[in-house]
């Protein structure tokens, strides 16, 4: 499907008028001083409000990127401008940014499980294999830390047991951020490192 069609479908799913009404309702509830007497209820309302505002921001970004690309394409169609490489680059950048945002949004829509929007605790243990397995455990820890950093998640070490010679026997990490559990939930089982000898 074309970008324009994908944006239309995404905006249909987001249902902007419904979300705007939801934000107004939640803002009204948050302004009620009685809400703040119940910390759990206040936390729930504020989380729902943040989620609704994020949906509106995403919808706005979709429309903005699509509008930028369409405007640049119209300018390119103007005979007086002709083939402008800078304009072509701008169109390409807008389309790529929009496509990335749509891809991320579509993946997040798949993360609709009960706990998917929460943080996660990650346990990594060295299996049988001695020092090589412990080295592999340390590599996995670095890999998950880099992955979390790229996504803007905060990682906190809960426990870390180093090996006698090198590497780690085990490590427990707490990954904090929206959808950390959703993304990491499939990371279970055994990760193996295979080597090839010449």
pLDDT at 143: 95
Contact status, residue 124 vs residue 33, Cβ threshold 8 Å = no
Domain 3-110 annotated CATH 2.20.25.90 = no
The fold for domain 120-184 equals Alpha-Beta Plaits (3.30.70)
pLDDT at 6: 85
d(CA 33, CA 117) in angstroms, rounded, equals: 28
- C-alpha pair distances (Å), 21 with each of 28, 60, 93, 159, 189: 11, 16, 33, 45, 44
pLDDT at 175: 96
- pLDDT per position in the chain (198 positions), as tens? 587 888 888 888 888 899 899 999 998 988 888 888 988 888 888 988 888 898 888 888 888 888 877 787 777 776 556 667 777 787 788 788 888 888 888 888 888 788 888 899 999 999 888 888 899 999 999 999 999 999 999 999 999 999 888 889 999 999 999 889 999 988 877 777 666 666
Q: What are the extents of the domains in the chain?
A: 3-110, 120-184
The residues with which 173 forms a beta bridge, in sequence order, are 122, 157
Q: What are the DSSP calls for the chain, one per residue?
A: --HHHHHHHHHHHHTHHHHHHHHHHHHHHHH-GGGGGSHHHHHHHHHHHHHHHHHHHHHHHHHHHHHHHHHHHHHHHSTTT-S-HHHHHHHHHHHHHHHHHHHHHHHHHH--SSSTTS-EEEEEE--SSHHHHHHHHHHHHHHHHHHHHHHT-EEEEEEEEE-SSSSEEEEEEEEESTTHHHHHTT--S---------
The residues with which 172 forms a beta bridge, in sequence order, are 123, 159
Of 102, 110, 19, nearest to 64 by C-alpha is 102
């Amino acid at each position: 499907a074309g970008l324009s069609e994908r944006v239309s479908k995404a905006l249909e799913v987001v249902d902007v008028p419904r979300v705007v009404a939801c934000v107004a309702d939640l803002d009204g509830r948050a302004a009620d001083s009685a809400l703040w007497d119940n910390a759990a209820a206040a936390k729930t309302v504020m989380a729902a409000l943040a989620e609704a505002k994020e949906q509106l921001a995403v919808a706005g970004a979709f429309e903005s990127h699509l509008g930028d690309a369409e405007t640049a394409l119209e300018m390119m169609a103007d005979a007086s401008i002709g083939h402008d490489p800078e304009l072509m680059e701008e169109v390409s950048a807008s389309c790529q940014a929009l496509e990335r945002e749509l891809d991320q949004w579509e993946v997040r829509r798949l993360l609709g499980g009960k706990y998917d929007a929460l943080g996660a605790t990650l346990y990594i243990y060295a299996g049988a294999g001695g020092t090589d397995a412990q080295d592999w455990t340390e590599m996995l820890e670095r890999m998950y830390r880099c992955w979390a950093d790229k996504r803007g998640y905060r990682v906190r070490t809960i426990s870390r047991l180093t090996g006698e010679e090198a590497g780690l026997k085990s490590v427990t990490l707490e990954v904090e951020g929206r959808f950390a559990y959703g993304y990491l939930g499939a990371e279970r089982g055994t990760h193996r490192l295979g080597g090839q000898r010449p």
